[in-house]
Amino acid sequence: MKHAPVKAAPGKAARHAGLLLSGLLALVALPTAQAQSASCAAVPAWTSSTIYNPGDKLVYQNHLYQANIQIWNAPPTHCPSCGWYTDLGVCGTGGANQPPSVTLTAPTNGASFTAGSNIAVSANASDSDGTVSRVEFFRGTASLGVDTSAPYAVTWANATTGSHAFKAVATDNNGASTTSTTSTITITGTPPVDTTPPSVPTGLAASALSSSSIGLSWNASTDNPGGTGVAGYDVYRNGSLIASPTATSYTSTGLAANTTYSFTVRARDNASPANASAQSGAVSATTLNGGGGGNKRVIGYFVQWGIYGRNYRVKNIDTSGSAAKMTHINYAFGNVRNNRCEVGITQPTDQNTGVGGDAFADYTKSFGAGESVNGTADTWNQPLRGSWNQLKQLKAKYPNLKVLISLGGWTYSRNFSSAASPANRQAFVASCIDAYIKGNLPVTDSAGGPGAAAGVFDGIDIDWEYPVACGLSCGTPADNANFTALLAEFRRQLDAVRPGLLLTIAAGAGVDKVRVTDPAAYSQYLDYINVMTYDFHGTWDPQTNHHSSLFDSPNDPSTGDQKFYNSNDAIEAFLSRGVPASKLNIGIGFYGRGWTGVPNVNNGLYQSGTAAPGTYEAGNEDFKVLNTRPGTIYTDANARATWKYDGNTFWSYDTPAMVTEKMGYVKAQSLGGAFFWEFSGDDAQGTLVNTISNGLK
C-alpha cells in the first residue's frame, strides 16, 4: 500500500470556547484520596503515548495520580471534573512501595485426591498501599492461569497421579510481587474412564452478516458429573466439518453471495479419545446479495491525508456516485507504535521512525454544512467530528456499506513485528479493538471519549508491509508464525465482541512476499485478502515497465522473482497455497508510474528513463490527470497492460478498458472482487469506480 506523505500537523486558526472551558476546569480540584505527601519512588512519569489502565499510578507535576479508567494522551489536569484520575497527593518522602501479601487457601497442604479430579486452587491477596493487579497460580513451574480480580482462583482439571506442589504469585500495580508458601498434595489411583459425551448444544442460531459471511451462536454444553469437561465444539456446514472453536460462537466466511447454507454443531470433551455429542438440529441462513459489483466486492481506500492538498473528502465519495457502487471502504491508516494501536496523536509523519498521526483529520476537524455528507455542520464540542464522523454519516445513507480501519501501510508497519510477538500480541489486539471497534478515543480538542467512535468501523484491515520480508524496514523469520497467530488473536477477540466483525489483510503480490508466510494457515481467520497487484515496477527500476500487468510477458527483461511480478502469478501464488478464490480480491491502482527522457524505441517500453514529474510525487500521477494527458495509449498483447507515451514520457497505468478486462479476469477466476488505491485518484464522475462495478456484474 502506498504511504502517507510527510506533513506538518494542521494548524488551528483560533482557540475556541472548549479550550477555554478546559482551562477553567483545570482550576477545579481533582478527586483526592490522600491530602498529605505521597511516595512517588519508582513510579513512572506521565507520558502521552502510554496507555494507563484502572489502578495504574503515575507522576505528573510532582503529584502522584492513579488512573480510574483506561486512558492515554490526556494528562491528569486536562479535565479534573471528569474523574479520570485520583490525586493521591504531593510527592514527598513516604516509604517505598510495599509488596502485596498473598496466602494460598486451597488446596490444603497434605491433602489427597483421586486421579482425574478437578482441583480448585485459590488464594487471598491484598496490597496495603495500592491494588493487586493479578494473581498467577503455579503447579511446580507450570502456570495454571491468571486471575485479575478477587476471589482469586483457577482450576486444575483432570489431575494426574503423583505429588504436586502449588503456589500463588501476587503482583501489585507497581510491579512488586510476592510468592505464597507452597501447598503440596498427592494424587492417587487410576483416573476414571470418561465415556459419556457432553450434552448436545442447544439454541443454535444463524444470521447473514454480509454477502460472504454468516454468524453462528449457540448455548454452552455441559459435561457429565466427574467428566473431563467440555473442550470445545465442531461446526459443520452442509454436512462438512469447517471449524472447531472453543467459544460458543463462530463466523463462517468466504461464502458465496445470495446462497443458502445449513449448519450444525456438536460438543467435545477432554477425554482421550474425546467423546462427542450428537449434532444439534440444523439451522439455515442465506448470505446477503452482493454490493455494487453484482455479487462481488468493490473495496476502496480513503486516505487520511486526502482532505488537505488533494481536497478530497468523504462527501466526494457520495457526490461522484461512487458510494452507491461500494461494498467496503478502508480508512488508511492507523499507526502501530509501542505495541499498541496508537490513536489521538497529531504529529508529522517520519518514515525513519514510524511516528506520526492525525487525530485532527480522524475525529477533531469540524466540517461545515457544505462539506458534510448529510448537510449538517459539526459543532465544536461534539465527541466525534472529522472524517470518521463523515464515514458514519455515509454509512447511514448507504446501510449496506461497511467501513474498516487499515492498520500499518508502508509508513506505519515497522512496529508490527514487536506487536505480533507472543508477549505483546493479546494486549496489542485489545488496544485496537478498544479504540476502533468499541470506539474509546483519547480526548483531544474537545472530541473523543468513551464510545465516541462506536459504530464507525465494522472491522480491521491489517496492512503489514511485510511479514518476514522487507518494506521500509525488514522483518524476521519469526514473523511467519507470529503473523498467523496475530490474525488468529484478532479473529478471537473480534468474535468475542460480536460475530460478523470483519478481519482482512492487504498482502504483498510478489512471490517473494507470499512464500515467506503461510496463507493456508492464516486465511482461515480472514474474511478476504486484498492482493496488492500494483507497483510491480516503478521509477525505482532503471527502465520502463508495467506497474500493474495482468499477465507475464516473454519480452519482459526482468529476472529472478521479478519475472513473476504480475497479477495472475500473484493470484496463483495464493491459490496454489490453498486460499479459496472467493477470499481473494485483485488490486487496481488509480494512478500511474512514469519515466521521462525515454527513447522512442518500442513505443518507450523496456527503455531507460528517470522519474517523470508528478503533481504530488515524482514518478507518480493520478488517473484523473493521466486520462487527459497528451500521448498515445498502447496495449501489451502479452502482459495485458496499457501505457501512454508521447515520444519522451512513459506512463504505465490502467485505462478504463484495461480495468474492464481485469474485472473479466476476476469473474473467470471466481475471485471475491476488486479493491483500489485510492478514491482521490479517480475523476469527479467516479469513472474508474463505475468501471469496476459494471465490470463485475
pLDDT tens across 433-450, in order?
999 999 999 999 999 999
CA distances from 404 to 19, 42, 208 (A): 31, 40, 19
Domain boundaries, the chain: 30-90, 101-188, 205-286, 338-351+358-395+405-527
CA 150/CA 135 separation, integer angstroms: 9
Share of the chain above pLDDT 70, in %: 92
Q: Is the peptide bond before 499 cis (omega within 30 degrees of 0)?
A: no
164-188: pLDDT as tens digits: 999 999 988 777 889 999 999 999 9
Q: Grid coordinates 489411583 are at which residue?
A: 189
Decide: 688 and 623 in contact? Cβ < 8 Å.
Answer: yes
Supply 672's cell numbers: 471475491
Query: Quick check: bond before 572 cis, omega within 30?
Result: no
CATH code of the region 205-286: 2.60.40.10
- pLDDT of residue 41 exceeding 90: no
> Are 370 and 450 spatial neighbours (Cβ–Cβ below 8 Å)?
no
pLDDT score for 95? 54
CB 193 within 8 A of CB 253: no
Burial class (CB in 10 A: 0-12, 13-18, 19+), 628: exposed
DSSP state, residue 47: -
Give the least confident one: 128-142, 449-463, 662-676. 128-142
Q: Are 381 and 449 in contact (CB under 8 A)?
A: no
Count of other CB atoms within 10 angstroms of residue 120:
12
* Residue whose grid cell is 499507526: 335
CA dihedral 566, 567, 573, 575 (to 10 degrees): -160
Higher pLDDT, 343 or 191: 343
Q: What is the DSSP string of 108-122?
A: PTT-EEETTPPEEEE
The per-residue pLDDT for 9 is: 31
Rounded to 10°, the helix 567-575/656-668 angle is: 20
pTM for the structure as a whole: 0.65
Confidence of residue 293 (pLDDT cuts 50, 70, 90): low
Is 30-90 a CATH 2.40.50.140 domain? Answer: no
Three-state secondary-structure class, residue 131: coil
Class of domain 338-351+358-395+405-527 (CATH, top level):
alpha beta
Report how far apart, in Å, the C-alpha atoms of 280 and of each of 124, 252, 466, 499, 697 are.
42, 17, 42, 20, 38
Once rounded to an integer, what is the mean pLDDT over residues 593-602?
Answer: 97
Distances (CA, A) of 588 to 300, 655, 661, 681, 692: 9, 10, 12, 11, 9
Q: Which CATH class is domain 101-188?
A: mainly beta
Q: What is the mean pLDDT of residues 674-688?
A: 96
Q: What is the pLDDT of residue 70?
A: 78
Is residue 678 flagged as an active site residue? no
Catalytic residue among 136, 342, 371, 465: 465
What does DSSP assign to residue 570? H
Q: Examine domains 101-188 and 205-286 and report if their fold is the same.
A: yes
Strand duo 183-188 + 112-114: pairing: parallel
Length of the chain: 697
User: How do 650-652 and 641-645 pair as beta strands?
Assistant: antiparallel
Report DSSP letters for 355-399, one per residue.
Answer: --EEHIIIIIPPPPGGGSTTS-PPPTT-S--HHHHHHHHHHHHST
What's the sign of the alpha-carbon dihedral 631, 637, 639, 641?
positive
